[in-house]
Amino acid sequence: MKKIMANKITLNFVLIILFTVLFVFCSIGAAEVFQYQDENGNWIFTDTPPGYDSEKVTKMKGMVDCNGGLRDLKKELYETYHPKNDVDAAAMATVTVISSIGTGSGFFISDNGYLLTNRHVIRGDERQAEAIDEATDYIDDQVEIAEEDLYIREKQLAREKTILDEMKAYIDKMSQRSSQREKLEKQYQERREYYQVLKEDFERKQTRFNSRKKKYETEKTDYATRQAVAGVNRHFKITLKNKEILYAYLVRASSAHDLALLKINGCKTPFIYPADMNRVAQRQKVWAIGSPLKIADMMKDGTVSGFSNGYIQTNAQIYPGNSGGPLVNEQGQVIGINTLKELTRNFEGMGFAIPIDTALGEFERELR
């Protein structure tokens, strides 16, 4: 469970990975990606169309058409939604991030398409993965125990069937007038009925077990595949406030923090200004913006509760899917990136956010 061996990867999965690698090297930094076959029949993926006319050249879906220059996403969104205040304006720059392992949130931090999210949104939650690995190890052990129990029951049925066959053969050899025959036939019938009950119970349990095992193994394989794809994938769908889907590529995932920097090309994007962290204080009003529980573009208000172990604490409600979204102040400035939620027995929960200056320091070189 901890590692996925190469000999267990299916041919289809290998093809997916190869295509992903091709896509990475051929499309980073390009607003458009074309695919076509050259004169030798080789498939070409490039940001530059061939120098000849070809009906077989296709532009890959989801890429921004920028023939007329930069597309002004900010203008399009503002003209559609007319934000009434600074917090509404911050929502214009917040997106849903879709990866092989699920959905999360993110937001543009510059007008040229850079956006921040959590590393676990695109790569998976390491703690959750460890918990799932432990759970699957336990289930695998239970499956083995159940298979052993079914094997023992099957052997018992086989022995019982052998006894019945021997009884039947013995009775058939007895004289019809034998006084013992009637007694043995009654015993045989009772034992046969008992055997039939055991057999039906065994077959019912075996059918239910096989069905559940098949479903479990399918889900386990699907999960392992999603995790493997998440480990190599560099392109992700993002959904804007207007539900339009675009593609962003991974610039870099932080090894030190739960942060990742993505980018879309060819667009002027709405973005959220970073707040002055020296002015962030307890009881300050904040909003968590994101896509919790697959519900896009939700805002939950609260206050800054405190600061702990390099995180900003808030009582603003943060749910699964909020991860990677912005925590903003009343001026619509981002003070942190929502990253996790820890529950206790005594209160509903406390949200945590990575301070925005941590993210800006991590990706200083890329955002210059």
Residue 6's contacts (CB-CB under 8 Å, 6 or more residues apart) are none
In a domain, 367, yes or no: no
Model-level pTM?
A: 0.63
What pLDDT is attached to residue 127? 65
Inter-residue contact 272 to 333 (CB < 8 Å): yes
Supply 156's token pair: 């018992």
What pLDDT is attached to residue 21? 35
What are the contacts of 293-296 at 24+ separation with CB within 8 A? 293/319, 293/320, 293/321, 294/103, 294/321, 295/321, 296/96, 296/239, 296/241, 296/243
Supply 119's token pair: 């590393």
**What span, in angstroms and rounded, lies between the C-alpha atoms of 13 and 9?**
6
In a domain, 193, yes or no: yes
In a domain, 353, yes or no: no
β-strand 267-268 against 71-72: which pairing, if any? Answer: parallel
Phi, psi angles (nearest 5°) of residue 52: -130, 160
In a domain, 49, yes or no: yes
- For the chain, how many structural domains are there in total? 2
What are the C-alpha distances in Å from 117 to residues 99, 223, 224, 332? 12, 22, 23, 18
- What does the pLDDT profile of the chain (368 residues) look like in tens digits? 333 333 333 334 333 333 343 333 333 333 444 454 555 554 444 444 444 344 444 544 444 444 346 899 999 999 999 999 999 999 999 999 998 888 899 999 999 999 999 999 998 766 666 667 677 778 888 888 999 999 999 999 999 999 999 999 998 888 887 878 888 989 999 999 999 999 999 999 999 999 998 898 888 777 776 656 556 678 899 999 999 999 999 999 999 999 999 999 999 999 999 999 999 999 999 999 998 766 667 899 999 999 988 999 999 988 878 899 999 999 999 999 998 766 554 445 678 999 999 999 999 999 98
Supply 32's token pair: 């458009």
**Do 140 and 53 reside in the same domain of the chain?**
no
Inter-residue contact 238 to 264 (CB < 8 Å): yes
In a domain, 224, yes or no: yes
Instruction: Using the structure block, give the residue that is written with the tokens 């932080």.
Output: 254
- Residue finishing a domain among 201, 232, 263: 232
What pLDDT is attached to residue 129? 61
In a domain, 65, yes or no: no
- Residue finishing a domain among 175, 200, 232: 232
- Residue finishing a domain among 208, 232, 256: 232
In a domain, 254, yes or no: no
Residue-number span of the structural domain to which 48 is assigned:
6-30+32-59
154: region left, alpha or beta (phi > 0 left; psi from -120 to 50 alpha)? alpha
In a domain, 186, yes or no: yes
What pLDDT is attached to residue 66? 40
What are the C-alpha distances in Å from 307 to residues 288, 301, 310, 314? 16, 18, 7, 9
